[in-house]
Structure 1
Amino acid sequence: MKISSIPQLYRNFRRWQEILGILRRYGLADWLSQLKFDFIRDWIKDEQGVPLASYSREKRIRLALTELGPTFIKLGQVLSLRQDLIGPELASELTSLQTHVPADPAGKVREIICEELGAPVEELYAEFDGEAIASASIGQVHMARLHDGTPVVIKVQHADIQNKVHEDLEVMAGLATLADHIPEIAIWKPIVLVEQLSKSLRRELNFNRELQNLQLFRKLLHHLDGVLIPKPFPKLSTARVLTMELVHGVPINHLARKNQQGKFSEEARQELARRTANVYVEMIFTHGVYHADPHPGNILIGDIPGSSHQQLGLLDFGMVGRIDDRLRETIEEMMLAVASRDVSLLTTLIKRVGNPPPRLDDSILSIDVAELVATYGMQPLESFDLSGALNDVTEIMHRHQISLPPQTSLLIKMLITLEGTIRQLSPQFSLLEVMQPFFRKMWLKRLSPRRQIKRMRRIYLEFEGLLETLPGQISSVMQLVQEGRLDVHLAHKGLSPSVNRLVLGMLISAVFLGSSLLLAYKVPPLLFIEPTWLGIEKLSLFGILGYVLSLLAGIRLILAINRSGHLDRSDSD
């Protein structure tokens, strides 16, 4: 631990105690779950009296994060986007993480609004409902009405939430540094995940970003009839307060309930599903920016005044994803590879889009990709299981430790969530069927002269930059060679355990040899001055202790070598 981190550790000592206590309790429950004795497994229970050891490991992780509080719940939500790192099972469990934070009292909310907007609530709004209609980890939502009669909702941050998040992020950074030294956890890249969480939380703590996202999507989607993005009010918004238009409608998950099944016909539900899919596919493949949280509660179905059609209202633009041209081209090529059953091309694309480990086994990866193509390559378009295919791809990446860039993980997670949301409207609807025309358009754009000219221009600029810098770099290297200052650094991987065992073996041999000399020369203090059983006499005490020490260390060394599986030479060596 760095000396600079000691003040942070002292400042957050109580929070450290609380977090480590919760982690220890759930970690002990994980260990107890492996025992066969029920009376021992029932020692630790949750608030409802259910033994923690009876839950699955994934559910215990979710419960621990829930108990740790809002910041750790956000960590779980970020982890749920990284199926390539934690696997589909844990990612699926973490998607159910919910934040239940008590709402701040109305007086405190009025004080925050007045502090942020510089005027009392009564002057800013004609009506204000002090009772929150929703409360999440970062803020809470209140109903209000402007002086011109416009109904609005006000999103207000919780009091002191920024200090709490900052404290938890400091503690989390310390935990990530410790976890990075544990091989089983280090493969999850905890430091990178905490950095990603910090960026995400800082964005969510600034409501100005969400205001900008609302303005952006209203501009991009204004031409789509029946799609409503809440109108923000910049003069009544700051980094901690966001005022936006009230959107009327019923969330999609409410329409999936039994008492709502007959509200729309199957044809109407399919039409709503198709319109929803078209909106998101256009955002992804036309504009390159998309609403990244198509949760069923974030899509409202409402009536359009004077029309028999329904409108789609999109809520919560705190999380937005972006897709660049190169990622878009890679997705196109992946779809083509699956359709043409080209295992070699798909394997290459998976390695290109991800970050493969140095010791990746290409042959085993190709076998897994071939099974994936065999499973999904022949599925008809109308019944193609897009969520299953994306989950299997991320499971393959997790198995081979191929990590994805955050934006790619976010896109995959968004598509899986979107398909699940749409199927609550119409279980028979295929998202890929809507995406197919966009793929055709993208291929035509890709083959267009304008696109080729743009691509050649990019390649030319990159090549021109290389030509400009290459002579200077070669000259620098030659200068170092002439001055004799060129150093070659060799890094070894996986040799530390072998070197440690070699040194330990040499120490054991030295102790054994030294103990033999002590016994041979009868170096005092001596045991058994008089002859005893089998004629044993005058044994050096230090010699016996050395024998015992070398024996125990030798057994420990043999067990360590045996656990690594390299005690004997294998056939492959």
Structure 2
Amino acid sequence: MKITAIPQLYRNLKRWREILKVLRRYGLADWLSQHRRLPFRNAFKDRGGVPLAKYSREQRVRMALTELGPTFIKLGQILAGRPDLVGAELGDELKKLRGDVHADSIETVRQTLRDELGESYQQHFQSIDPNPLATASIGQVHRATLNDGRKVVLKVQRHGIEHTIRQDIEVLGGLAQLAERVDTFAAWAPAEIVGQLAPMITRELDFGRERQNLDHFADMLSESKHAVTVPRPIKHLCARRVLVMDELDGQPLAQYVNLSSANAKIAASTGSQTGRETGISPDTASATTDSSKSDWAQTERAKTKKQLSETIANVYLTMLFDHGLFHADPHSGNLYVLKDGSLGILDFGMTGRIGETLRETIEEMLVAISGGDQNRLTRLIRRIGNPPPTLDDSALSIDVAEFVGTFGRQNLGEFDLTGALNELSEILHAHAIKLPNQSALLLKMLISLEGTLRELDASFDSLDVVKTFMRKTMVRRMSPQRRLRQARRIYLEAENFMETAPDELLSLVQQARRGEVRVNLEHQRLGPSVNRLVLGLMASAVFLGSSVMLAMKVPPLFFADTMVLGMQDLSVMGIAGITGSVTVMMWLLIAINRSGHLTRDNDN
């Protein structure tokens, strides 16, 4: 550990103890779950009295993150969208994490408003609902009414959450450094992962970013041919910890779908009741009124769901393929059905952006999957991800070939997009191929989008829409305008290279003349081997020195006056040295044998 990290460790000592206590508890429970005959296997229990050993490992991870608090809940929610890191099974379990926590009092909320907007903030509001509309790990939402009668929603950051999150991120950084020293964890580069995820968490602390995203997406989607509404922020009432925006007049998509199902059942039952009241025979009423009402309700419901599915799919694919900027969390709680039947989108705290090169690579991957080209898909996976140096290319090719064989030849109406994305995530996870943040956000968005469309249960094929966009993008890629932009970019890069290359080459020649050229060599994982070599040499030296002591009869001596079993005048220091050196040599042999590198036959 670096000396500069000592003040940080001391500052967060209390939090370190809390985190290690929880990790130790769940870690021991995980170990006990693997030994069913131990009498104290059920020693650790949850708050309901259920032994932790009876839960699955994925459930214990989720429970531990929940117990560790808001920062770890948010971390788990982010990792839920990174199946390339945690695997599809753990990712599905982490999706169950909820940030619902005890809400701050209305007095605390008013104090935050006073700190951010000034003492006179009340003159802008006619009323603020003291009961929160929703609570999460970072903020909570309240309904409010402005003085001009405008209905708005207040999003206020929770008191003290910024300090807690920054403290936990420091602790996470320390835990990642410790994990780097364990070979099993070091292969996943935990410090690098924490370095990628920490900015995603801290970025959500600044509501100013979300305000900018609201404006940007509202302008971008206003040009869409589909009716989409994004709430506009009230800019003069927004601050770093406060976000005020228009209230969407509608209901969440999940609630709307459930209500539609309930209305269909009510319509059917109402039709049956009407038949009885009019005196028509039960058989006739059942055959006419009941049937027609039920059929009409089901038809309207199916029609509405299909329209919503088409709108959602087209809007998100337009974001992706036309703008390269997308809303990264399209679950049914963030999608609203407004009273006029249009679509509303909420929560722009997490957005993703992909460049033209990445977008074209994704398009090529879709073409390779649909065309069954496993070799090209393997190359694209290596290009888009960050493969480890120890990647087994042949094993990756086999897995990709099986993937293409499963999903590349499915009929258009039968294609399982969620299954394909989860299977691809499992391949990345199995081969330790890490995706860049934006690629991982895109994967998360597609999986969440497909899940939302499945909730609608409409007779709608999302892959058909994807192929429609693919045809458009292929035409756009072949357009003269794109070719001109590409040629201009290549020309500018070549011009810059031709300008800088002579100076760089001349500088290198001058450094060589002055003898300043140096070659730095960095070893990888040679530390344990070097330590064993040094320890073996020291043991050999001690053995030789001890042998000389025995031969020279260096005092103090065993059996100086009498002979025992043919032994006399044995040097005590010599005996001790030989015993110690032989013990060290035996320990080295056992350690080398366990590592699997004792003979030539097990070099692999």
Task: Name which of structure 1's ranges 257-266 and 75-84 shifts more when overlaid on structure 2.
Answer: 257-266
Q: What is the rounded CA distance, in whole Å, between the counterparts of 1:566 and 1:43 in structure 2?
A: 40
Of 536, 543, 549, the match for 1:505: 536
Q: What is the rounded CA distance, in whole Å, between the counterparts of 2:237 and 2:230 in structure 1?
A: 18
Task: Name which of structure 1's ranges 226-235 and 325-334 shifts more when overlaid on structure 2.
Answer: 226-235
Note if contact 2:305-2:458 (Cα within 8 Å) is conserved in structure 1.
no
CA gap of 1:433–1:225, structure 2 versus 1, over 3 A, is closer
Task: Name which of structure 1's ranges 144-153 and 80-89 shifts more when overlaid on structure 2.
Answer: 80-89
Provide the residue aligned with 1:131 in structure 2.
131
Task: Name which of structure 1's ranges 177-186 and 442-451 shifts more when overlaid on structure 2.
Answer: 177-186
Of 348, 363, 372, the match for 1:317: 348
> Helix, strand or coil for the counterpart of 1:98?
coil
Amino acid at match of 2:53: A
Q: What is the rounded CA distance, in whole Å, between the counterparts of 2:494 and 2:140 in structure 1?
A: 52
Deviations 1:202-250 (A, max 9, x none): 3211111111111111111114443221121112211111111111333
Provide the residue aligned with 1:567 in structure 2.
598
Amino acid at match of 1:303: K
**% of aligned pairs identical?**
50
Amino acid at match of 2:586: I
Task: Name which of structure 1's ranges 58-67 and 115-124 shifts more when overlaid on structure 2.
Answer: 115-124
Amino acid at match of 1:344: N
CA shift at 1:271, angstroms? 2.1
CA shift at 1:287, angstroms? 1.4
* Count, aligned residues: 568
CA gap of 1:557–1:257, structure 2 versus 1, over 3 A, is farther
- Unaligned 5+ runs, structure 2: 265-299
CA gap of 1:111–1:384, structure 2 versus 1, over 3 A, is same
1:550 equivalenced with 2:597 (yes/no): no
> Helix, strand or coil for the counterpart of 1:40?
coil
Deviations 1:109-158 (A, max 9, x none): 11221232224454221121111121111111111112222221111111
1:515 equivalenced with 2:546 (yes/no): yes
> Helix, strand or coil for the counterpart of 2:39?
helix
Note if contact 2:75-2:201 (Cα within 8 Å) is conserved in structure 1.
no
Q: What is the rounded CA distance, in whole Å, between the counterparts of 1:93 and 1:554 in structure 2?
A: 48
Provide the residue aligned with 2:220 in structure 1.
220
Amino acid at match of 1:331: I
TM-score by length of 2: 0.89
Of 338, 349, 366, the match for 1:302: 338
Of 431, 436, 448, the match for 1:417: 448
Provide the residue aligned with 2:233 in structure 1.
232
CA shift at 1:31, angstroms? 2.0
1:326 equivalenced with 2:362 (yes/no): no
Deviations 1:155-199 (A, max 9, x none): 111122222222222222222222222222223322223233332
TM-score by length of 1: 0.94
CA gap of 1:150–1:390, structure 2 versus 1, over 3 A, is same
Give the 5 Å matches for 1:103-502.
Answer: 103-120=103-120, 122-223=122-223, 224-255=225-256, 257=258, 260=261, 263=264, 265-304=301-340, 310-426=341-457, 429-502=460-533
CA gap of 1:311–1:471, structure 2 versus 1, over 3 A, is same
Q: What is the rounded CA distance, in whole Å, between the counterparts of 2:185 and 2:520 in structure 1?
A: 28
> Helix, strand or coil for the counterpart of 2:601?
coil
Task: Name which of structure 1's ranges 444-453 and 79-88 shifts more when overlaid on structure 2.
Answer: 79-88
Note if contact 1:110-1:121 (Cα within 8 Å) is conserved in structure 2.
no
- Unaligned 5+ runs, structure 1: 305-309
Deviations 1:506-551 (A, max 9, x none): 2222222223223333322233446576333433322232233223
Provide the residue aligned with 1:307 in structure 2.
none
CA gap of 1:480–1:254, structure 2 versus 1, over 3 A, is same
Note if contact 1:252-1:424 (Cα within 8 Å) is conserved in structure 2.
no
Q: What is the rounded CA distance, in whole Å, between the counterparts of 1:351 and 1:315 in structure 2?
A: 35
Q: What is the rounded CA distance, in whole Å, between the counterparts of 1:517 and 1:53 in structure 2?
A: 58
Deviations 1:545-565 (A, max 9, x none): 223322322222122211221
CA gap of 1:225–1:441, structure 2 versus 1, over 3 A, is closer
CA shift at 1:259, angstroms? 8.3
Provide the residue aligned with 2:285 in structure 1.
none
Amino acid at match of 2:82: R
